[in-house]
Amino acid sequence: MTRPRNHTFQAALIFISVAQLTTALKCVCRLCENNTCETSADGACWNSVMLIDGKEETDKSCLSAEKKNQVYCYSSRNVSKRNCCFTDFCNNENLHLYQERPSEVPGWGKLELAAAILVPSCLLCVGAMLGVCVLQGPRCAYRRAHKQGAEEDLEDTLMAPDKCLKELIYDMSSSGSGSGLPLLVQRTIARTIVLQETIGKGRFGEVWRGKWRGEDVAVKIFSSRDERSWFREAEIYQTIMLRHENILGFIAADNKDNGSWTQLWLVSEYHEPGSLFDYLNRYTVSVQDMMLLALSIASGLAHLHMEIIGTQGKPAIAHRDIKSKNILVKKNGTAVIADLGLAVKHDSTTNTIDIPSNHRVGTKRYMSPEILDDSINMNSFESFKRADIYALGLVFWELSRRCSVRGIHEDFQLPYYDLVPSDPSVDDMRRVVCDQKQRPSIPNQWQSCEALRVMGKVMRECLCAGSEGDGEGDEGVLVCRL
């Protein structure tokens, strides 16, 4: 009599398990109302702990299906632990980075102590795992097959030896994930890169040129101290639909643990001419070069700022550190926007940004007047975009000065080079930009060339102080920082 019932029960269990795989999960969420959130179909519950200023900070939330395959489910020993799990509220427990060592029991040798602890714990673990697998049998098997099988298949197909990076990235975008290579592929690529030479230094660690299957790649190496920055930059680069010809092409993020410390890598396309800052220091540009560079930088920034609505949509993103050192020149004469480490994403449904914001991030020299004098309206995402446009105006000034017309051009200089010290403070900048209302001057020579005259006009519109719209310029109405 019990048999059919058992069968029905098991069938129901299988049905529920399989059904749950594609439906939403409820998870504990630290920053949500009622501390609960619901994932999209096939999402995961996320649990994490990070070491911040020597203290453990936990975070719990819901992960979407595509984020599940990215860096979110990584753990890097000592610095952070992250778990993804797949049952309702499975992220309830608190993770810890350091386990306390058991105190020694007098009279017991280390071996006996180890045996006394390990044997029962192993038995318990095996028992618990068996129990869980019996209860969730079909689900365990499905998950394993689905996760490992699918990822390995994907890895095999994508990592065929004749594939070059461009093809890999193309395959990836057409395979549907849309936001980045699968985790396993990212790891495999990163771990087969051979570093060649350092090519740059910035806020965090060093940037190297590396070789992957004979192709050049750039590897930004963060120390484990800067894990948050590594994680954040990798996360931003993997925003759905971010990929654009004028935004640095992201390839992989990887955390390599060499036993005693963790090296955090961010792999991207390599651009031999380097940063716009280095390029303009070395070379002058023709009118055509200048227009191509200016147009491509503006296109990259416009794409970053643009919200694309839809399931495969993209949030509006503000860069917050636009400057010539964070723009790279491509061999074809166009440019890409790089260093997305300080970027913020806008959630238009709640009109909020995705991380707690400190408004004075970025490079002081490029800070807009409203950031410098604290009048910025932090509740409007437009303000962040406007601040980017101001910095873009300064980049256009750096670029236009190097435009050579009939052999005449200016030397390379950073904005406000003649008005502030080489490492200016916020006070230095505020005095010049807000109090004295000075802006980089436009050389007379720009009036003799139509393209430079236009660049001067665009630049003035970008640098206009009015943060809420129109202002008067000497050549008619200036629409400030559109």
Question: Binding residues for Mg ion, per CB under 5 A?
Answer: 202, 326, 339
Among the residue ranges 18-26, 167-175, 272-280, 395-403, the one whose residues contact ligand ADP (CB under 6 A): 272-280
Q: Which of 43, 182, 210, 274 binds ligand ADP (CB under 6 A)?
A: 274
What's the rounded Cα separation, in Å, for the pair 470 and 450? 24
Q: Are 296 and 335 in contact (CB under 8 A)?
A: yes
Q: Does 275 bind ligand ADP (CB under 6 A)?
A: yes
Please say which residue, 81 or 271, places its beta carbon nearer to ligand ADP. Answer: 271
Minimum distance between the CB of residue 212 and Mg ion, rounded to whole angstroms? 22
What's the rounded Cα separation, in Å, for the pair 479 and 61? 42
Minimum distance between the CB of residue 207 and Mg ion, rounded to whole angstroms? 9
What's the rounded Cα separation, in Å, for the pair 414 and 431? 17
Please say which residue, 326 or 467, places its beta carbon nearer to Mg ion. Answer: 326
Name which of 433, 400, 198, 370 is nearest 297 in CA terms.
Answer: 400
Minimum distance between the CB of residue 202 and Mg ion, rounded to whole angstroms? 4
What's the rounded Cα separation, in Å, for the pair 275 and 325? 5
* Cα–Cα distances in angstroms (integers) from residue 463 to residues 19, 373, 393, 458, in the given order: 55, 15, 6, 9
Q: Does 169 bind ligand ADP (CB under 6 A)?
A: no
Q: Are 400 and 290 in contact (CB under 8 A)?
A: yes
Please say which residue, 173 or 363, places its beta carbon nearer to Mg ion. Answer: 363
328 binds, among Mg ion, ligand ADP, none (CB under 5 to 8 A by kind): ligand ADP
Q: Which of 338, 367, 371, 442 binds ligand ADP (CB under 6 A)?
A: 338
Q: DSSP letters along 156-208, please?
A: HHHT-TT--HHHHHHHHHHTT--SS--HHHHHHHHTT-EEEEEEEE-SSSEEE
What's the rounded Cα separation, in Å, for the pair 64 and 172? 18
- Phi, psi at 442, each rounded to 5°: -100, 115
207 binds, among ligand ADP, Mg ion, none (CB under 5 to 8 A by kind): ligand ADP
What lies within 8 Å, CB to CB, of 214 at 6+ separation is: none
Q: Are 132 and 86 in contact (CB under 8 A)?
A: no
- Phi, psi at 431, each rounded to 5°: -60, -45
What's the rounded Cα separation, in Å, for the pair 338 and 268? 10
Q: Helix, strand or coil for residue 308? A: strand
Please say which residue, 325 or 346, places its beta carbon nearer to Mg ion. Answer: 325
Q: Which of residues 91-150 bind ligand ADP (CB under 6 A)?
A: none
Minimum distance between the CB of residue 256 and ligand ADP, rounded to whole angstroms? 18
The token pair that represents 474 in the structure block: 């000497």
Among the residue ranges 143-151, 185-193, 269-277, 365-373, the one whose residues contact ligand ADP (CB under 6 A): 269-277
Among the residue ranges 253-261, 320-328, 354-362, 390-398, the one whose residues contact ligand ADP (CB under 6 A): 320-328
456 binds, among ligand ADP, Mg ion, none (CB under 5 to 8 A by kind): none
Q: Are 381 and 353 in contact (CB under 8 A)?
A: yes
Residue type, 236: I
Minimum distance between the CB of residue 432 and ligand ADP, rounded to whole angstroms? 24
183 binds, among ligand ADP, Mg ion, none (CB under 5 to 8 A by kind): none
Is residue 162 among the annotated active site residues?
Answer: no
Minimum distance between the CB of residue 327 and ligand ADP, rounded to whole angstroms? 8
Please say which residue, 87 or 363, places its beta carbon nearer to Mg ion. Answer: 363
The token pair that represents 432 in the structure block: 């010049």
Which DSSP letter does residue 258 get? -
Please say which residue, 125 or 361, places its beta carbon nearer to ligand ADP. Answer: 361
Please say which residue, 134 or 194, places its beta carbon nearer to ligand ADP. Answer: 194
Q: How many residues of this chain bind ligand ADP (CB under 6 A)?
A: 22
Q: Which of residues 194-253 bind ligand ADP (CB under 6 A)?
A: 199-200, 202-204, 207, 218, 220, 248
Q: Which entry of 226, 289, 321, 388 is annotated as an active-site residue?
A: 321
Please say which residue, 220 or 481, places its beta carbon nearer to ligand ADP. Answer: 220
Among the residue ranges 90-98, 237-245, 267-275, 362-370, the one whose residues contact ligand ADP (CB under 6 A): 267-275
Q: Which of 136, 224, 246, 326 binds ligand ADP (CB under 6 A)?
A: 326
What's the rounded Cα separation, in Å, for the pair 349 and 135? 40
Name which of 380, 414, 396 is nearest 461 in CA terms.
Answer: 396
The token pair that represents 250 in the structure block: 């992201």
Q: Could you count the other beta carbons within 10 Å of the beta carbon of residue 283? A: 13
Q: Which of 43, 180, 341, 415 binds ligand ADP (CB under 6 A)?
A: 341
Q: Which residues bind ligand ADP (CB under 6 A)?
A: 199-200, 202-204, 207, 218, 220, 248, 268-271, 274-275, 278, 325-326, 328, 338-339, 341
Catalytic residues: 321
